[in-house]
Amino acid sequence: MKKFTLIILLTYSFGTLSAQSPADCPANLSIFAEFAKVKNYDSAYTPWLEVKTHCPELNEATYIYGERILNHKIKNTEDNAEFKTMLASLYDDWLKYFPTDRRGKSQQGKILAAKAQSMFEHETAPLAEIYAIFDQAYLSDVESFNNPKALYNYFKTLYTMYKNGEDNVTMDVLFSKFEDVSEKFNIENQKLSKTLDRIIKKEDAGESLTSRDKRSKRVAEINSRANSTYANNLDAMISQEASCENLIPLYRSNFDENKSDEKWLKRAASRMDAKECSDDQLFVELVEALHSLSPSADSAYYLGILKDKAGNTTEAITFYEESLKLETDTYRKAEIMYKIASKLKKRGLKSQARKYANQALSNKPSMGKAYILIAGLYADSANDCGNNQFEKQAVYWLAAQTARRAVSVDPSLKKTSQKLEASYSGRAPSKTDIFTQGKAGEVITFDCWIRSSVTVPNL
């Protein structure tokens, strides 16, 4: 069989076979798959086309590899209009013959999003048409619509239409869709975090990782970086529009109509909090309406913010704790803990801020940003801890170590972590200082709120 396949492969390399028919499909499937696996897409094209033409229902590989083959042809052919048309048709047939994956789960969202992404990249249709297909993917099967690049471009098409002044794309529509896509990114990140957290717990316990664990960790880290990159790009895109000057009148004009809509109230309060618009009276009204409608973890958290703004830290923490008691989801609880830590850090309450950041890590070990926050707390305490100048500067070693920990649990923070680690290390005692003081290898204990220690590097 291998000899037979080799002969046919060689035949396709130097000239196509004639009189192809449905009976030849299994052999052609094997042939184009072998070529495609080694990225020899030009040689894969003809046998692939035979299978696509005569046996479109034979195997999903026809569509998985077909997408790669046609994208290669589009990229490397000057007159590529025909291949662009074929690619659009490929997605339609993929959806027709293989609407579910091997596990029987719908992949309609995935396929439609891939079609829209292709049309977007190759500029084969107006933005409104591309957006409509993205929207169909989202509305019909949001579960399988999880490609971060496609999710980003889903919103980008609408944003571009908004900037172009299209009448049906109002700011209200724009923000609503932004929240949809942002929440989808959060859902996908949570799935990846669960995988990473399971593996991090094994590593921290000193357990050996299986080959499957290592593979799962590698895939989760890659996808996590991609999700974080596109989610950050999404935030950057909306940042100009999401100013307090725009948000407040927008939410004010829609408040009466939506004051009984829990989802709308949560989104409006969350966006105003994120953009530091919580000083406005509208934020108070949003929070009160949300809490009276349905006392929840979110409403209790926002009430804590109001007390914090009023300078009543004790009552603020009471509401924050109530928020945590009301929240049952471990990962949402971790996010609330992180937000509380951030608020307390701004208030200068370092010990309490670290407490909530550590609690967040207990619930979500892959939350690297919590380590970044704690590292910042340590760095801000350099002048307040230690009995002499050397010990005060030694705090920066602890800050650097903590910042380094962030990237070990969340690779998407690599640049931030490395930048902070370098900055903190640069402010720690130099090798000359270590030699002069004779402190190499010595353990320095900080008796201030830090209540921790650091080992001076050996020369």
Q: In this structure, are residues 226 and 257 in contact, taking their beta carbons and an 8 Å threshold? A: no
Contacts of 46 by beta carbon, 8 Å cutoff, 6+ apart? 12, 16, 32
> How far is the C-alpha of 28 from the C-alpha of 208, rounded, in Å?
43
The two three-digit tokens of residue 400, written as one number: 């650097």
Is 80 exceeded by the pLDDT of residue 2?
no
Q: How many residues does the chain have?
A: 459
Residue closest to 196 by CA, chosen among 374, 411, 418 = 411
- For residue range 74-122, list pLDDT tens digits in order: 999 999 999 999 999 999 999 999 999 999 999 999 999 999 999 999 9
Q: In this structure, are residues 101 and 142 in contact, taking their beta carbons and an 8 Å threshold? A: no
Phi/psi of residue 37, each to 5°? -60, -30
Is 70 exceeded by the pLDDT of residue 4?
no
What is the model's pLDDT at position 15?
Answer: 43
What is the model's pLDDT at position 179?
Answer: 95
Place of tokens 């934020």: 283
In this prediction, residue 20 has a pLDDT band, given cuts at 50, 70 and 90, of: low
Contacts of 1 by beta carbon, 8 Å cutoff, 6+ apart? none
Question: Interior CA angle at 109 toward 108 and 112, to 5°?
Answer: 80
- The mean pLDDT of 299-324, rounded to a whole number, is 92
> How far is the C-alpha of 269 from the C-alpha of 179, rounded, in Å?
12
- For residue range 417-456, list pLDDT tens digits in order: 999 999 999 999 999 999 999 999 999 999 899 999 999 9
Q: Which residue blocks in 164-209 are alpha helix, DSSP H?
A: 171-204
Place of tokens 């680690």: 421
- For residue range 23-54, list pLDDT tens digits in order: 889 999 999 999 999 999 999 999 999 999 99
- For residue range 161-181, list pLDDT tens digits in order: 999 999 899 999 999 999 999
Q: In this structure, are residues 83 and 70 in contact, taking their beta carbons and an 8 Å threshold? A: yes
- List Cα–Cα distances, 265 to 166, 262, 271, 322, in angstroms: 27, 5, 10, 19
Three-class DSSP category at 452 = strand
What is the model's pLDDT at position 459?
Answer: 79
Is 90 exceeded by the pLDDT of residue 240?
no
What is the model's pLDDT at position 402?
Answer: 97
Ranges 90-94, 203-207, 294-298, most confident? 90-94
Query: Among 1.25.40.10, 3.40.50.720, 1.10.3720.10, 2.60.120.10, what is the CATH number of 295-366?
Result: 1.25.40.10
> What does the domain layout of the chain look like in residue ranges?
1-98, 99-241, 243-292, 295-366, 388-459
